A and B are shown apart, each in its own frame.
Chain A
Amino acid sequence: MTVDEPGATNADGAHGPVADPRPGAARAEASSLDRGGGELDPNAEDDAPPSDPAAVLAMIAAQRAATRKGVEPNGPLLFGTWGVAWLIGYLILYFTYDEALGRAPAWGFVVFGLCLIAALVITAVHVARRVAGVRGVSAAEGAMYGWSWMIAFVAACLLFAGLSRAGASPDVMAIATNGVSALIVAVMYMAGGALWRQVRMFALGAWVGVVGGGAALVAQPNTYLVMALAGGGGFLVAAVGDLLVTRRRARRSRR
């Protein structure tokens, strides 16, 4: 088959819109490949794509963009979720800091923990929904990446327990818990950026590494202020940046 000159009609004259639910096709819905049935839709026709190559390429690009949206996690949503969780959580630790205790009170840590758990649940549900229905190499990569987070944080908790048992002061504990957690986030984001060739994800990881290291050098409770503003703020900047780049790209491809 050849493509005619732009504007010419195809042999069967079909020029349907891109998403073309064909009439009569719904009847065959009950029996499908998926349900193991062999019945096919006798009305499924071979509608030729638009005869203009540019229109066909645009149709392909639109389909690929829709597919990516359906299978890849939404960067701005995840960055934004963690940005808000860090901003609120660390600000609470900062404002409830008790000089006498040398740390925030227990309820401050509970609220901080709830912020992180909420962000974790949103992330897990969102990622699980997006990657559901796709199996193979990338699912295996994603599973290994997910387990890396889990194992790193479980190991970090054991390390914190060990430090506490060895008599670490509240100040040392604050530096260790903050620094190690930020380091894990930084390394995992940089690794994820490398794995999926996501430059903004990599840059965010690098930034969190710098912030986490820097926060260890300032006196308490300023560590938490640095984590809230520079750390949480960094996530929010990444979310906005990601959103702007995605929007601009979508606008350009529509032209």
Chain B
Amino acid sequence: MTELELDPVIHAQARLRVVATLATLDAGDRMAFPKLQKLLEMTAGNLSTHLRKLEEADYVQIDKRFEGRSPATYLELTKKGRRAFETYTETLEALLRGAQ
């Protein structure tokens, strides 16, 4: 049996939860940083670090903009990120089937 590779970018608990959250939104939707932070119950610094890593892998698009006068950051899963998450879950399901 060939060993199934799991994407190392997603295969970290915090980043997996970030990606799972953003993948729950419809394609074309983005989430504000405070909302994402609240849903994940992570500290801002911790979340920022993981988002930076996901951005480096081109899995998450970080969109900084101004809403009126206050800055707002929106996070969106890229097509590549969405595909990576799907591949990741499919691999897990394949591993699960293999384990049974």
Say whether A135 faces chain B, with CB atoms less than 8 Å apart: yes
Instruction: Decide: A2 and B28 in contact? CB cutoff 8 A.
Output: no
Main secondary structure of the interface of B (DSSP, over half): helix
CB-based nearest B residue for A47: B13
Is the CB–CB distance between B6 and A44 below 8 Å? no
Q: How many residues of A contact B (CB 8 A)?
A: 54
- Inter-chain contacts of A75 with B (CB < 8 A): none
Within 8 A of B (CB), among A15-63: 16, 18-22, 25-29, 31-36, 39-44, 46-49, 53-54, 56-57, 59-60, 63
Find out whether the CB atom of B12 lies under 8 angstroms from the CB atom of A48.
Answer: yes
A141-179 vs B, CB cutoff 8 Å, 1 = contact: the mask equals: 000000000000000000000000000000000000000
Nearest B residue (CB) for A16: B13
Distance of A67 Cα from B20 Cα, bound (Å): 9
Task: Bin the interface of chain B by size.
Answer: 35 or more
Say yes or no: A133 contacts B25, CB within 8 Å: no
Among B31, B36, B43, B76, max chain A CB count under 10 A is at B43
Q: Is the CB of B52 within 8 A of A32?
A: no
Partner of A19 from the list B6, B38, B41, B48 (CB cut-off 8 Å) is: B41
Contacts of B35 in A (CB 8 A): 70-71, 132-134
Q: A54 touching B96 by the CB < 8 A rule?
A: yes
Which of these, A32, A66, A136, contacts B33 with CB under 8 Å? A32
* A44-B50, A48-B12 known; A21+B43 contact, CB < 8 A: yes
Shortest distance in angstroms between B20's beta carbon and chain A's nearest beta carbon?
Answer: 4
